[in-house]
Amino acid sequence: MKDYASLIDRERVPRHVAIIMDGNGRWAKKRSLPRVEGHRRGAQVIESLMDAAIELGIGVVSLYAFSTENWSRPKDEIAGIWRLLEIFFEANIEKIRGKGVLLRHSGSMRHLPASTRRIIEDSVGQTRGNGVITLNFCLNYGGRQELLDAVNGWAASRRPGDRITGRALERHLYTAGLPDVDLLIRTSGEHRISNFLLWQVAYAEMIFTRVLWPDFKPRHLYRMIYEYQQRDRRFGGL
């Protein structure tokens, strides 16, 4: 097996890696387990992923954890996801703080359980000031809704005669202050971006893998960073 970690040029790692963590349900189904067990195992991947990202010097990792469309799933599965999220933060916040991780939340707080809102806000507050890496949890997130919210936010703050610009719009995005996505990864074999970071992925390189999210290992991330570095990013130029 090729040692991709040793082949990576540490001077050219992507600043912002976004991941669509797909395949938890299929992972569980293959093992005749409840879907929520797939989500639980998927949550366990995050720590080793972040350790690898820190080692590589990646600046931002955005994780698509729950979309605005996921509300259509069975109520017991949704409740299980929120409980797992709360357990994740409760169990890991000290390690997250100790590693210098800055937590961000991108998405709407509307409709989230009160206990989930509280633990998100508390966890984000506890890591304020950290700067080793930013972990951006995209929860109750939808790219189209983000753009609508950003336009409405700009409109509410505009002065007479102001015209909207890309820079002005970006100040009202959930991800305000974060760099555009350089690399988008989706697990489980699907080839869609599924309403994720529509503005931010405009020039992102995309890698799709058949690996289900609970089986995703640091070696997969190293291989994808190496593949990213083999591409010629021209941003519309020659």
Higher pLDDT, 233 or 22: 22
22 is catalytic: yes
The model's pLDDT over 156-206, given as tens digits with 9 standing for 90+, comes to 999 999 999 999 999 999 999 999 999 999 999 999 999 999 999 999 999
DSSP state of 179: P
Q: Average pLDDT, stretch 129-150?
A: 97
From the candidates 9, 24, 51, 70, give the one annotated as an active-site residue: 70
**Where do we find the tokens 């990202």?**
53
- Paired strand residues for 17: 61, 183
The model's pLDDT over 61-97, given as tens digits with 9 standing for 90+, comes to 999 999 999 999 999 999 999 999 999 999 999 999 9
Q: Are strands 183-186 and 205-208 parallel, antiparallel or unpaired?
A: parallel
> What's the token pair of residue 170?
């970006």
Contact 133, 58 (CB under 8 A): yes
Cα 20 off chain centre by: 7
Q: Which residues of 191-216 are buried (b: 16+ CB within 10 A; e: fewer)?
A: eebebbbebbbeebbebbbebbbbbb
From the candidates 3, 22, 76, 182, give the one annotated as an active-site residue: 22
pTM over 0.85: yes
Q: Are strands 60-67 and 133-141 parallel, antiparallel or unpaired?
A: parallel
